[in-house]
Amino acid sequence: MQTLQRAGHIDLFYGDESGFSLLPVVPYGWQPPGQIIERPSRYSLRLNVLAWLSESGELVHFFTEKSIDSQFVINSINGWSISLMRPTVLVLDNAPIHRSTVFKAALAGWQAQGLYVFFLPAYSPHLNKIETLWRKMKYEWLEAVAYTSYESLRTAVVKLLTGFGLTHTIKFAQRHCIINSV
pTM for this prediction: 0.86
Neighbouring-strand partners of residue 172: 177
CA distance 75 to 181: 32
Backbone φ and ψ for 179, nearest 5 degrees, come out as -115, 130
CA distance 17 to 61: 10
Write down the domain spans for the chain.
2-21+42-181
Q: What is the distance, to the nearest Å, from the Cα of residue 32 to the centroid of all Cα atoms in its chain? A: 33
Where does 2-21+42-181 sit in CATH, by number?
3.30.420.10
Quickly list DSSP for 6-47. HTTS-EEEEEEEEEE-SS---S-----TT------------E
What does each of the 182 residues of the chain score in pLDDT, given as a tens digit?
A: 888 888 889 999 999 999 999 986 666 666 788 887 776 677 889 999 999 999 889 999 999 999 999 999 999 999 999 999 999 999 999 999 999 999 999 999 999 999 999 999 988 889 999 999 999 999 889 988 898 899 999 999 999 999 999 989 988 766 545 566 65
